[in-house]
Structure 1
Amino acid sequence: MTFSFLHSHACNRPDHTAIKYQGKEWTYRSLIQEITRVMNDMADKGIGRTDKILLYLPNSIDFVVHYFASTGIGAIPVLADIKYQQEMKHIFAENQLKCIIGNGQSLEHLRQYVDLSDEIIIDVNSRLQPDATGFSPDSPEANALEVPSQDDIALILYTSGSTGYPKGIVNTYRTLNEALSNYLGTLPFTSDDIFVGVTPFFHSYAFGSCFLSCLAIGGTLLLYDTFIPRPILKAIEEEKATVFQGVPFMYHLLIQQLESRTYDLSSLRLCISAGAPIKEMEAAEFYKQTGHVIHQEYGSTETGTMAVNLSPDMKLNIESVGKPLFNVEIRITDEGSGEGQLFVRKKGHAYGYLNDAPFEDDWWPTGDFGKMDREGNIFILGRLKKMINVAGLKVNPQEVEAVLAAHPGVADVMVGGLLHPEFGEIVAAYLIPHPAANVTQEEIMQYCYEKLALYKAPRVVYFVNEITKTSLGKSVQLNNERLISSSIKESELK
């Protein structure tokens, strides 16, 4: 899968635009040439088969080219959230990384938390330029494209895990191919589609549903490294984009912008949302402003996309994540109520967790509680194990608790989510200070800002008298006289 579809497009539609980024365009012909050139550069640096490469980049032409170049030489790309801070120490500890690929900003950020003296460093600085010369189906560049074994490791993608640390999810070329086949066998994409690639590709949703899907069908990918509503709406209007894949927080900001100015979004065929449930009022307002239904997509990093709602019915799209994808089965452990835990069985699930046993090809417990109607539509009713969902970004309470517990002024701590009108939830910390410590809430929040990605840091801190532990978890008795909340900047969550 690494190069098969790109090579096919370069042969059959060489002059069709593959990528648009920062005012420049790459055709499929010039994209293959850039990938091949970077493959040769990487090989010259001693990078080769099975070497792990941390691809620490935002959405950009550099991300696209270096991802395919890495797999083209048989190396293994490792993707992680570029907002991670102390979490990177864990990722470096369980991977023997041969190379780090980043830009000036991401590498500077990374050096604050890990030592980069033992790895090959490639600072891209977006120096790639479109160049359509020198490629033909019979050229040495075309013949250099390697076809890997289907069971070779193709990707390690980090996601928030249940153990308190980000978990590395391993995919082989077989599992990526199967997941892509499931998705493209369900969604009505064509090679004439123009995708907006703004949701970060280091998240599994955007990586598979946008990045790989667009290039696999031979579409055009508009790349943006930052989500800012006005430029995105302007780009949809001017570029006649047809597919937008975002998260609910993005739609919330788009609606705010649409209230102040009208944009022509008539070119859009599909607006998709994943990562968190879409709010009814916002789905209705987006439909009122644009005439487009927001279609919910449902999946996880471990399973890939499981279901999508393609119904034109706005109300059904608010309530349901739709029907299982092609080649995907979902059942519910119904104990007579019609509701229960959702289990999925599918080809295209991840191979397993890094340094752990492979996943079994059997029914996978999603951890979600839900029901299914007679038409096969799936309704998610809640989580069995509660993660905190900050604007579509998942935060594991145990991870934040572990960081706070290491603070010398904290005797005990519990972390949970509080409902928020814009972000869905925010992180809240309930802690008992050490009696001898003169710790303040401001100090606690600043400590977390230095140790965690900003969206994971508590935005409210409660000093409490007691944290009562029960067999079902923890409950707290609040001391409301000592409460402080921090302001939330939208830019910190993007």
Structure 2
Amino acid sequence: MNLSSQLHETAKRIPEKPAYYFMDQASSYAELDGAITKFASGLEKLGVKKGDHVAMLLGNSPFFVIGMYGALRLGATVIPINPIYTPDEIGYILHNGDVKTIISLDLLVPLAEKMQHALPMVENYIICETPQGKEANVDVSQLSIYPKLKSFTDVVASGDISFAGPELDEEDVAIILYTSGTTGKPKGAMLTHKNLYSNARDVGTYLRMNEDDRVITTLPMFHVFCLTVSLNAPLLKGATILIDPKFSPKEIFRLAKKYQPTIFAGVPTMYNFLYQYPDGDPQDLKSLRLCISGGAAMPVALLKSFEEKFNVMISEGYGLSEASPVTCFNPLDRPRKPGSIGPSIIHVENKVVNELGEEVPVGESGELIVRGPNVMKGYYKMPEETAATIRDGWLYTGDMAKMDEDGYFYIVDRKKDLVIVGGYNVYPREVEEVLYNHPDVVEVAVVGVPDPNQGEAVRAYIVSKNPSLTEEAVIAYCREHLAKYKVPCSVEFLEELPKNTTGKILRRALKEQVVKN
């Protein structure tokens, strides 16, 4: 079984049930499955074959759902790409990923025109029409790539509704997800049909998703968190997804009031925005039975404040692209532990090891490693990086963690974010947790900066709701709650912190700023 074939079976069982709402328009499972089948057939008529690589530069929309599931039904390998990446970033992934077909927003057609000479292997550009594209008045007939341009709508219309598709093996690569490249060029994590299906199935089962659920899908679909938790798992369980093109607190509260969602998934920054939104009525979120947080550690102070205001439980979990992504989640049938990412989900093993790969005692910190049917096949065209990351069947995550006596895991910090002050280890998250308890702090990020005496020192970057808050006051507050070597040596106040497209705060951007200065 795989994601696309399971959706086909669901459509036969509950054909009239809404699969999604988009811009207040519903589409049933039968309609979605029909569009997927016809798109797969249309791709085949364009010459796309099983095993070919199809890139998708799309935001949250039915285009993404139909495009991805259609390509998978044909047996092609999908490469989702953030459409707001720079031309260089997009070009690297397209070239490294050996992409033959691109599915893109019409707004990106001029970019495709500029890049075509560097991408001779691309045979098809399938363009998704948008109102913004029409407003831009791009005359595609005047472009040199015009013979390769096809309309997404036309590709669907050309397809055969009786198309069955080729036989797929569970070990075939279904998706290649390029990592953010924090340590160099992005690496393409190869996820098989088995990886994706098993993780969507197990997450859906663990979180008790069912046909009565309505899931707000506002995280970016090209990101692995949304892909599994807010898209694949709900559709696998016959739920309805509420597709939100772009996160905004105002739109989330509107969707919640109109459609009575039962599940919301987001990163901590989103929860912070919802909590701070002045017009957010707790009554609008009363239908939620579960909120899911991932992508970064949620400050305990924010978690407790949000839950108290909106009367809903947040279940924090953990994952990474290389694991499809989920490995841990706070359970629904046992106590939830604030600050924890929960125990291992079903069919997945996690453990904490030292530098020799030996499991450490309960309560001690070490590197988190993972094993299960969700672990990637490897990095595309990078055998050495694959061998360094997957050892004896275990995926080495690069995250520092510890486990308690109940089997709950806690992320201490990223291995590379560790700050060493005079030989003492300082985990940025610990300092951030303290600062999030300060009544005037809205957001905070902590990094290490060079220090001539201690090797490194701690610096805090803060967004404050109080313009009169001073560096001295923040440092004095930290002295009350932290050991001397953990106290920030300096504090910088910013209007906003740098974030990626999922809303995750980017410490590395702040570190780069330190290096430049």
TM-score with structure 1 setting the length: 0.74
Counterpart-to-counterpart distance in 2, 1:241 and 1:6: 21
8 A contact 1:57–1:106 mirrored in 2 = no
For 2:190, the equivalent position in structure 1 comes to 170
Secondary structure at the residue paired with 2:161? Answer: helix
Q: For residue 422 of structure 1, report the CA deviation from its aligned partner.
A: 4.5
Cα 1:332–1:181 change in 2 (3 A) is same
| 1:180–1:147 distance in 2 versus 1, CA, 3 Å | farther
Instruction: Determine if contact 2:50/2:166 at 8 Å carries over to the other structure.
Output: no
> 1:374 aligned to 2:405?
yes
Aligned partners of 2:3 and 2:232 also within 8 Å: no
Change (3 A) 1:211 1:361: farther
CA contact (8 A) 1:328 1:346 kept: yes
The whole-number CA distance in structure 1 between the counterparts of 2:254 and 2:5 is 33
Relative distance call for 1:105 and 1:387 in structure 2 (3 A) is: farther
**Which residue does the alignment assign to 2:174?**
154
- Structure 2 distance, partners of 1:55, 1:236, is 29
Cα 1:29–1:353 shift into 2, 3 Å:
same
- Which is further off, 337-346 or 187-196? 337-346
Does residue 255 of structure 1 match 2:255?
no
Corresponding residue number in structure 2 for 1:54: 55
Q: Is the 8 A contact 1:3 1:147 kept in 2?
A: no
Contact 2:350 2:368 in 1 (8 A): yes
- State the Cα RMSD in Å: 3.2
2:407 counterpart SS class: coil
Which 5+ residue runs of structure 2 have no aligned equivalent?
131-150, 354-358, 420-434, 451-489, 504-517
Percent same amino acid among aligned pairs?
Answer: 26
Q: CA deviation at 1:490?
A: 9.0
Measured at CA, do residues 88 and 169 of structure 1 come closer, stay the same or move farther in structure 2, by a change above 3 Å?
same
The answer on whether the counterparts of 1:182 and 1:348 sit within 8 Å (CA) in structure 2 is no
Q: Does 1:69 align with 2:89?
A: no
Return the alpha-carbon distance in structure 1 between the equivalents of residues 326 and 223 of structure 2: 12
Whole-Å separation in 1 of the counterparts to 2:360 and 2:260: 49
Provide the rounded CA distance (Å) in 1 between the counterparts of 2:20 and 2:201: 22
- Say if 2:329 is the partner of 1:308: yes
Q: Would you say the 8 A contact 1:311–1:317 is kept in 2?
A: no
Instruction: State the Cα deviation string for residues 346-395 of structure 1 (Å, max 9, x = none).
Output: 2211111111236456222222222212211111212212299xxxxxxx
Structure 2 distance, partners of 1:115, 1:203, is 28
> What letter corresponds to residue 306 of structure 1 in structure 2?
T
The change in CA–CA distance for 1:345 and 1:312 in structure 2 (over 3 A counts) is closer
Q: Identify the match of residue 374 of structure 2 among 348, 351, 362.
A: 348
Which structure has more helix as a fraction of its residues?
2
Asked if the contact 1:294–1:317 (Cα under 8 Å) also holds between the matched residues in 2, the reply is no
Report matched runs for 1:457-472 at 5 Å: none
Counterpart in the other structure of 2:135: none
Cα separation, partners in 2 of 1:24 and 1:346, compared to 1, 3 Å = same
For residues 299 and 168 of structure 1, the distance between their equivalents in structure 2, rounded to whole angstroms, comes to 16
Q: In structure 1, what is the Cα distance between the partners aligned to 2:241 and 2:118? A: 32
CA 1:22–1:115: 2 relative to 1, 3 Å: farther
| Structure 1 residue 89, shift from structure 2 partner | 2.6
Deviation at 1:24, TM superposition (A): 1.6
Given that 1:18 and 1:218 are in contact with CA atoms closer than 8 Å, whether structure 2 keeps it comes out as: yes
5 Å-filtered alignment, 1:29-178, equals 29-85=30-86, 86-108=88-110, 115=117, 118=120, 119=122, 120-125=124-129, 141-142=161-162, 144-178=164-198
Deviation at 1:143, TM superposition (A): 5.2
Written as runs of structure 1 = structure 2, the 5 A alignment for 1:324-343 is: 324-333=344-353, 338-343=364-369
**Aligned partner (choices 364, 379, 382) of residue 395 of structure 2:** 364
Residues 387 and 65 (structure 1), Cα distance of their counterparts in 2 relative to 1, 3 Å cut? farther
Q: Is the 8 A contact 1:179 1:349 kept in 2?
A: no
**Structure 1's 313 and 110: CA in aligned 2 closer, same or farther, altered over 3 A?**
farther
Kindly provide the amino acid, as one letter, of the partner of residue 343 in structure 1.
Answer: I
User: 1:183: Cα distance to partner?
Assistant: 1.9
Residue 145 (structure 2) aligns with: none
Using a 3 Å threshold, how does the CA distance of structure 1 residues 313 and 249 change in structure 2: closer, same or farther?
farther
The answer to whether the Cα contact below 8 Å between 2:126 and 2:152 also exists between their aligned partners in 1 is no
Cα distance change on mapping 1:104 and 1:162 into 2, 3 Å? same
Q: Which 4+ stretches in 1 moved above 6 angstroms?
A: 426-430, 483-486, 489-492
Q: Which residue of 2 aligns with 1:474?
A: none
User: Does the CA contact (< 8 Å) of 2:213 and 2:261 recur in 1?
Assistant: yes
Structure 1 counterpart of 2:328, one-letter code = A
- The letter of the residue matching 2:409 is I
Deviations 1:118-169 (A, max 9, x none): 421111115989xxx9x9xxxx735524441212111111112354122111
Structure 1, residues 186-210: CA drift from partner, whole Å, max 9, x if none? 2211111111111011111111111
Which residue is 1:323 aligned to?
343
Answering whether residue 310 of structure 2 is matched by residue 290 of structure 1, we say yes
Task: Name the residue aligned to 2:142.
Answer: none
Q: Kindly tell me: are residues 42 and 326 of structure 1, through their superposed partners in 2, closer, same or farther at Cα, counting changes over 3 Å?
A: same
- CA gap 1:33/1:287 in 2 versus in 1, 3 angstroms: same
- Asked if the contact 1:182–1:328 (Cα under 8 Å) also holds between the matched residues in 2, the reply is no
What is the deviation of 1:253?
0.8
**Alpha-carbon shift at residue 313 of structure 1 (Å):** 9.0
Q: What residue number does 1:435 align with? A: none
Q: Structure 1 regions of 5+ residues with no counterpart? A: 389-418, 431-479
Flag the 1:54–1:115 CA change in 2: closer, same or farther, 3 A: farther
Q: Name the CA distance, whole Å, in 2 between partners of 1:143 and 1:124.
A: 22
**2:187 match: secondary structure:** strand
Per the TM alignment, residue 295 of structure 1 is displaced from its structure 2 partner at its CA by 1.1
Q: 1:372 to 1:264 in 2, by over 3 A?
A: same
The one-letter amino acid of 1:87's match is E
